[in-house]
Amino acid sequence: MVALCLKCSPKQNIVKGYNNCTSNFVGHLKRKHGEECLNEYKAYIKSKKKKNLSTICTENDVSVTEGKFRQRKNINLLQDEFEENTIKFFTSSMIPLRAVDNPYFIKTFMDLETTNFKPKLISRRTLTRRIQEYYGREIERPGSSVEPLDIGTRLSCPLGLARQRLPVSCPPDQDPSQLPVTRYHLGWRSCSVTFD
């Protein structure tokens, strides 16, 4: 990182340093321009931090006095909501879980232009565990008993996530050979079992 000292009047002095580290610049101000200039710089930095914090807080509906703790809490809530939506996306679309590792899937979320929230994508392994937890919560909800749609063949639906071969069930007015999918009602939800 290179900083340009504007206080050095005829000759503009260049101060080199590392990213987000101002010790070389602070040392230059102290040596060349004295304590008064250093105090002016510190006051400027403090006012800039306060301005940034108040901007972030008003965007998140957080009061300035509560500061970073409330902001962090809101970001955690956003992250939880993001993960829940990711789980629902994968369970509803039935795409392979390896799509989480796809660079374009990752880029979609990393390029979001929000000022204070960059979502952290969950790994494939964590996604698998969370889907199983989500599935367990959905099955245990009231009104989620599993019943086949057809009258002819009564099937017992295994309540696991493993793929299994089951006979195709269908409404009584249709030919079973024409239907590749078995549907079960889970309360207001439906579960489809596809066959290879």
The answer to whether the CB of 99 falls within 8 A of the CB of 105 is yes
**Burial (0-12, 13-18, 19+ Cβ within 10 Å), 154:** exposed
Cβ neighbors of 20 (< 8 A, separation 6 or more) are 1
* Mean pLDDT value across the chain: 68
The answer to whether the CB of 184 falls within 8 A of the CB of 150 is no
User: Strand, coil or helix: what is 117?
Assistant: coil
Q: Among residues 165, 164, 168, which one has the least CA distance to residue 181?
A: 168
Residue 184 has pLDDT above 50, yes or no: no
Cβ neighbors of 125 (< 8 A, separation 6 or more) are none
- What pLDDT shows up at residue 152? 42
pLDDT > 90 in the chain, percent:
1
Each residue's pLDDT tens digit, 136-156 = 887 777 655 555 544 444 444
Q: What is the mean pLDDT of residues 158-184?
A: 52
Each residue's pLDDT tens digit, 21-30 = 778 878 888 8
pTM: 0.38
